[in-house]
Amino acid sequence: SSADQLVIPSRSPSNKVSILTLNRPKALNALSTPLFQALNAELEKAEADDTVRAIVITGGEKVFAAGADIKEMKDKEIAEAYTTNFLGSWNKIASIRKPIVGAVAGYALGGGCELAMLCDILIATPKATFGQPEISLGIIPGMGGSQRLTSLVGKTRAMDMVLTGRKIDGLTAERWGLVSRVTEEGQSVVEEAVKVAETIAGFGKVAVQAGKEAVNASLDLPLEQGLRLERRLFQQLFATQDQKEGMAAFAEKRKPTWSDK
């Protein structure tokens, strides 16, 4: 039954958006290893399925995720953490080439905040709660909270969150650049995220993938190399039918029909 499923997959009405809902409500969606394995498996399925054009990751309208599973971690020893490469599989999301929209309501703490930051586009409710409270557990963020957070919000705000455990709401997260949109009071964050994902799903697949690749390159590469990669991808798109179609449609004042070629 769906009560036993740690991640519930569903589709948008158009069938183009795979919606992955974290489902451990009694533990505020604490990210246990089995939950992460389930999420990775669903992400791989969505990546391999040609009908899926974009992915939404959410915990629903109440809670995103209150962090890695503290009860699972509490007795962990260094040898086990190291030899089993604890948290190593969390990076799987970063290798997904389809666009991922995160929808955050309620807590996105610790690993939950880090999971949110692994999404390409992030949408939150105004009252969502983002934070890296690891310091209060005697640890630090382990899945990007010190790296991705810093590049999103800047050093002094990242230090503030990581060293004091300061929590911020969705509106502040938008102001700081951690999320790109906040919902209106009472609006469904999942529906908003699906709308954004549907918008992306309405464009040509090749250009969408190239856009994601190019933006991600800016996080890893020095400017000159990033610009070169962008220019090469841009030039290569002139070999696609979608470029011909997109520009012809503009000139002919009609809607383009994408062929994904």
Catalytic residues: 68, 111, 114, 134
Instruction: Report the site for ligand HXC in 50-109 (rule: CB under 6 A).
Output: 66-71, 87, 107, 109
CB closer to ligand HXC, 102 vs 133: 133
Interacting residue with ligand HXC among 8, 16, 23, 27 (CB under 6 A) = 27
Calpha distance 245→223 (Å, rounded)? 31
CA 184 and chain centroid, separation: 21
CB closer to ligand HXC, 71 vs 255: 71
Q: How far is the CB of 67 from ligand HXC (least distance, A)?
A: 3
Q: Which stretch binds ligand HXC (CB under 6 A): 13-21, 24-32, 38-46, 176-184?
A: 24-32
Q: How far is the CB of 32 from ligand HXC (least distance, A)?
A: 8
Q: How far is the CB of 168 from ligand HXC (least distance, A)?
A: 14
Instruction: Report the site for ligand HXC in 109-128 (rule: CB under 6 A).
Output: 109-111, 114
Q: Do residues 202 and 137 make contact, with C-beta atoms less than 8 angstroms apart?
A: no
- Cβ contacts of 229 within 8 Å, gap of 6 or more: 213, 214, 217, 221
| Token pair recorded at residue 72 | 């699972």
Q: How far is the CB of 96 from ligand HXC (least distance, A)?
A: 18
CB closer to ligand HXC, 71 vs 254: 71
CB closer to ligand HXC, 140 vs 247: 140
φ and ψ at residue 195, rounded to 5 degrees:
-60, -45
The count of other CB atoms within 10 Å of the CB of residue 211 is 17
Q: Is 242 in the site for ligand HXC (CB under 6 A)?
A: no
Q: Do residues 84 and 37 make contact, with C-beta atoms less than 8 angstroms apart?
A: no
Q: Which stretch binds ligand HXC (CB under 6 A): 27-35, 50-58, 185-193, 216-224?
A: 27-35
Using the 8-state DSSP alphabet, how is residue 119 labeled? S
- Cβ contacts of 251 within 8 Å, gap of 6 or more: none
Instruction: Report the site for ligand HXC in 142-171 (rule: CB under 6 A).
Output: 142-143
- Cβ contacts of 188 within 8 Å, gap of 6 or more: 61
Q: Nearest-5° angle of CA 162, CA 183, CA 135?
A: 10
Contacts with ligand HXC, residue ranges (CB under 6 A): 27-28, 30, 66-71, 87, 107, 109-111, 114, 133-134, 137, 141-143
